[in-house]
Amino acid sequence: MAKTNTDSTEVNESTIEQSFETLEEIISKLESSDISLDESFTLYKAGMEELQHANAKIEQTKKAVLAISKDGTLEVFEEDE
């Protein structure tokens, strides 16, 4: 399973997508009625860690997005705070 680094945005999107798939699996397990409290807590912690990872990747990707300014030049996208 080789990944090329020619398009880092594509790699980041794949990683974010994998995080979302993992989160969906965790949610499905948490919704199961035959899960112990200990397992629920372990899954909850894993889900929160995965969510933080996905949020960090989204922020990283967002900072890399280029926006075209009014005069036609490219500049790094920055969120207005």
| Full pLDDT tens readout for the chain, 81 residues | 444 444 444 444 458 999 999 999 999 999 998 999 999 999 999 999 999 999 999 888 777 776 655 666 777 666 665
* pLDDT number for residue 51: 95
The pLDDT value recorded for residue 1 is: 41
72: left (phi over 0), alpha (psi -120 to 50) or beta: left
pLDDT at 3: 44
CA-based R_g, the chain, Å: 18
- CA 20 to chain centroid, in Å, comes to 7
User: What residue ranges do the domains of the chain occupy?
Assistant: 36-67+74-81
> In Å, what is the CA distance from 27 to each residue of 22, 48, 53, 54, 57?
9, 11, 16, 15, 20
